[in-house]
Amino acid sequence: MYTVTVLAPPARADLTEDRVEALRDLFAGGHIIWLDDSIAAEFPAETLPADAAAIAEDTRLAGFDLVIQPTEGRRKAVLLADMDSTMIEQECIDELADMAGVGPRVADITARAMNGELNFHEALIERVALLAGLNELVIQQVLDERITIAPGGRVLIATMRAQGAYCALVSGGFTAFTAPIAAELGFNEHRANTLLADDGVLTGHVGLPILGFEAKIEALNDITAQHGLTPADAIVVGDGANDLGMIRLAGTGVALHAKPVVAAQAGVRIDHGDLTALLYLQGYGRDEFVID
């Protein structure tokens, strides 16, 4: 048995009964359940039509997300989330680089690395080297003035924590950012790289070993094992090429507003919705959301 979930961006909230019913008919699906009026609905399907992928693509091009997944086990006990451009709306290293006067150069390297065009390890070392001499106090300035939480992020973590899920922030960025972001959002733990400083000034070096593609996979295996679970019990969300390993390994791997190389290979693709999409995918209705 499959569950088909149809989502509109919460900012638009324009999912209609006619659209959902038309999709249900294409799948010869069952009773429609509305998870959130005008935003999220789901229905069961015993089998999938041969053109299911094409239907999902047509729905995406129309401005909505359509996700097909096995019904059994879709509510997960563990969440692993990337930080930059996932739980927050910025790339922290790009913001630091802008403050250091090397913004465009670093942003170009970041974009290429996240799209899988560059080796993440080498790209990170190259970018961090360009930050040498920057006052460490700039980190707090960036946090205060430039970093914003991605829509739906607070509700996602609060709701999953309330249901007993373990939530980890796993980033190829830096602990100077993951620590306060994890604390603000209520993550159980965070893992990231360490920017090295000497006497309050960034040295242009990062602590080794670097947390990247392989380390994110290790984090997924390690965290689920610690709780007597497997990666199949986890939902993972990210946007960059260094997230692909953990996205592919997880029971539910979500590419959220992701780079093309990631969106093409992820099991679940969310192009229009926000982070609350991860709740709807697990069958959570609006009445179950924990909202501050």
Active-site residue numbers?
Answer: 82, 84
CA–CA separation, 289 and 286 (whole Å): 5
CA–CA separation, 279 and 284 (whole Å): 5
Report the SS3 class of residue 242. helix
Residue with tokens 């097909």: 68
Question: Which residues 6+ apart lie within 8 Å of 81 measured at CB?
Answer: 87, 167, 168, 169, 170, 187, 236, 237, 238
Structure tokens, 289: 């959301």
DSSP 168-202: EEEEEEEHHHHHHHHHHHT-SEEEEE-EEEETTEE
CA–CA separation, 245 and 250 (whole Å): 9
Is-contact 47 26, C-beta < 8 A?
no
DSSP 112-154: HHHTTSS-HHHHHHHHHHTTTT-BTHHHHHHHHHT--BPTTHH
